[in-house]
Amino acid sequence: MNVLADYHTHSRYSRWYHAKHNVDQMTAEAKRLGLKQIAITDHGPKHTMFGIKSKNIDKAKSDCLRATKKYNMPVFFGIEANIIGGDGTIDLTAEQLSKLDILLMGYHKGTKCDFIKYFDKKNRNTPEQILKNTNAYVNAINKYNINIITHLNEYIKVDTKLVAKAAKARGTIIELNAKHLKLTDTDVKILLDSGVDFVVSSDAHSKNRIADVQNCLDFIVKHNIPIDRVKNIDNLAGFTKK
């Protein structure tokens, strides 16, 4: 299995040196590795610690455009947005969304939102809370053109069947994340039965981790996930750069 694109990587635009290398360095390494595409997807601006500063969004976009020309490969400018509202609201404005080539979305602990108190361990995984989480995800999928849901069921639990149904209807892809691969056997069966597609992602925070997804490839084999449903392996069927 050959990984042809990595759609979830972070650059120095994620605050406090959360990621180690700039857009040019990340792209150069992707090119060296033989990838056909890469996306730079720093954390959304409402991420408490590591979110991209709103004033840097245009700079990051420009860096991706320059890298695209310099390395003659598509460098998608994206954001890994944070879900912050039970109504599906994410931490990007309409203007900011218009600048993106690709939109990822997930829940990150430490990001303030109105539907869960993450550190309330007593109630974090109650049926009532899981329903709130699920509704937030479904609302977001229906509200925005989300390309990829990141690390599903990692920090908070959802009803996988309901999220998968919404994702399939909207053409939203589910990520197999090399750093946060917490999907259970039951989750995988539900996702496969739903008909959703997948991508494998490194979630690289340095150039040394780009396309480092061997555990995802092993996971695909273990769970008999059809390769034609993984959109960045062997036959590249991911995204078209704007």
What does the domain layout of the chain look like in residue ranges? 5-229
Farthest CA pair distance, the chain: 52
Residue 218: burial class (beta carbons within 10 Å; 0-12, 13-18, 19+): exposed
CA distances from 148 to 117, 120, 197 (A): 24, 28, 10
Extract the tokens encoding 25.
């360095």
pLDDT at 197: 96
pLDDT at 182: 87
- Contact predicate 39/79, CB 8 Å: no
What global pTM score does this model have?
A: 0.94
- Contact predicate 151/177, CB 8 Å: yes
Cα end-to-end span (Å), the chain? 27
Extract the tokens encoding 93.
């404005």
Kindly list the averaged pLDDT for each block of 10 residues, start to end, along the chain of length 242. 94 77 95 96 86 92 97 97 97 96 92 86 89 98 97 95 98 96 95 97 93 96 96 76 56
pLDDT at 239: 66
Q: Tell me the sheet residues that pair with 104.
A: 80, 148
pLDDT at 16: 67
Task: Say which CATH topology domain 5-229 has.
Answer: TIM Barrel (3.20.20)
pLDDT at 224: 96
